[in-house]
Chain A
């Protein structure tokens, strides 16, 4: 795979995420200003925390004047799944040189994780060039759309009226389906889905994410591992990319 492919493919993947997450960036910006943030503070949060769901939770609590440590703890709880992402990608991002590696982990949001795993699985090289091209597009778009939302504030009406509230769930649905040929996909998905729905009812958000994730993973641990460990041609592709 050429360096050109890595760049253009990364930019392309980033653009799709930028489009699907734009309504939420705008939404976050509008809500942030509504809860007492300035445009600059909203942009700062999008740039530094860089995690949509956790930011919405954080700003909601901020608006209710909840103690700072509870806000931080809640953001931590919503983002806890990223521990699993960085563990799962240890072998991929761990290949990058030091500075690139620590920057890459900063950009590790849900779609970045899913696209990286998918690319690694199809045998195309996950290089820093590809990873950063995608991540930079998503990050810049996230900060920009936050500022747009913050600037226009309450001029933006109900997101439901424009049908934009469905984009993120549909996008995550597509990502999830991309893994359907994986070993144990269906039992893991079923365990994670059912338990998260039950947990949402009894414990509430954001804990349902962690509960579902843990139970889904537990099913994968209990079920027998794949018979033969087939090593795909990834290693050769990698050599080609070096």
Chain B
């Protein structure tokens, strides 16, 4: 472990690596737009595909922690799922947090 780096020093090689990673990421964030704007009209199948993007991508970020997480995570996410039918945003976060703490310290899962 390199603990001798000072708080605000920037190594040129590290900075270059970060810059290239940033540029690569930016390309992914404009890539789809650049491809789309080169098209004159959008075929209906492509429109269906694009409409499916939120459900398809966001689900992958949810399914993995649910399936591979412990019972504490599973319980919290299941509770959040039910509460989420009625409440959005911060309420959901608070409920999910309370549920995972209850599962861990109340029921003893995953501690």
| A interface list, Cβ under 8 A from B | 16, 19-20, 34, 36-41, 44-45, 48-51, 54, 58, 62, 68, 71-72, 75-76, 79-91, 93-94, 102, 105-106, 108, 110, 113-114, 117, 151, 160, 163-179, 182-185, 188-189, 191-194, 196-197, 200, 205, 208-209, 212-217, 219-221, 223, 225
Which of A39, A75, A169 is close to B62, meaning CB atoms less than 8 Å apart? A169
Contact, CB under 8 Å: B51 / A174: no
A205–B60 alpha-carbon span in the complex (Å): 11
Report how far A172 CA is from B84 CA in the complex, Å: 11
Separation of A136 and B22 alpha carbons in the complex (Å):
17
Looking at the complex, which one of A82, A172, A177, A194 makes contact with B28 (CB distance below 8 Å)?
A82
- A169 touching B73, Cβ below 8 Å: yes
A76 (CB) vs chain B CBs: closest residue: B24
Known: A38-B10, A49-B18, A51-B25. A16 touches B90 (CB 8 A): yes
B63's contact among A39, A166, A194, by CB below 8 Å, is which? Answer: A194
Closest B residue by C-beta to A116: B54
B7 in contact with A163 (CB, 8 Å)? no
> Are B32 and A169 closer than 8 Å at their CB atoms?
no
If over half of B's interface residues share one DSSP class (helix, strand or loop), that class is named, otherwise mixed; here it is helix
Distance in angstroms from B90 CB to nearest chain A CB is 6
A211 CB, nearest partner CB in chain B, Å: 8
The CA of A76 and the CA of B81, in the complex, are separated in Å by 31
Q: Which residues of B contact A39 (CB under 8 A)?
A: 7-8
Query: In the assembled complex, which residues on chain B have CB atoms less than 8 Å from the CB atom of A34?
Result: 1
In the bound complex, do residue B67 and residue A41 qualify as a contact, i.e. CB atoms below 8 Å apart?
A: no
Q: How far is the CB of A93 from chain B (nearest CB, A)?
A: 7
CB distance from B100 to the nearest CB of A (A): 4
Is A41 in contact with B64, judged by CB distance below 8 angstroms?
no
Inter-chain contacts of B32 with A (CB < 8 A): 82-90
The CA of A94 and the CA of B84, in the complex, are separated in Å by: 32
Q: Quick check: B10 and A213 within 8 Å, CB to CB? A: no
Which residues does chain B contribute within 8 Å of A193, judged by CB atoms? 59-60, 62-63
Q: How far is the CA of A96 from the CA of B87 in the complex (A)?
A: 32
Most buried by A among B37, B49, B69: B49
Q: Is the CB of A209 within 8 A of B61?
A: yes
A75 to B26, CA, bound (A): 11
Tell me how far the C-beta of B38 lies from the nearest C-beta in chain A, rounded to whole angstroms: 10
| Minimum Cβ distance to chain B for residue A79 (Å) | 5
B28-53 interface mask toward A, CB cutoff 8 Å, 1 = contact, 0 = none?
A: 11111111110000001101111111
Of all A-B residue pairs in the complex, the 6 with the closest CB atoms, nearest first, are: A216-B56, A87-B32, A220-B52, A170-B96, A48-B22, A86-B32
The docked-state distance in angstroms from the alpha carbon of A216 to that of B32 is: 17
**CA distance in complex: A87, B60 (Å):** 18
27 contacts between A and B (CB under 8 A): A38-B7, A38-B11, A39-B8, A40-B8, A40-B9, A44-B10, A45-B21, A48-B19, A68-B17, A82-B31, A86-B28, A113-B54, A163-B104, A166-B77, A168-B65, A169-B61, A173-B77, A176-B55, A177-B81, A184-B51, A188-B56, A193-B63, A197-B68, A208-B64, A212-B59, A213-B56, A225-B47
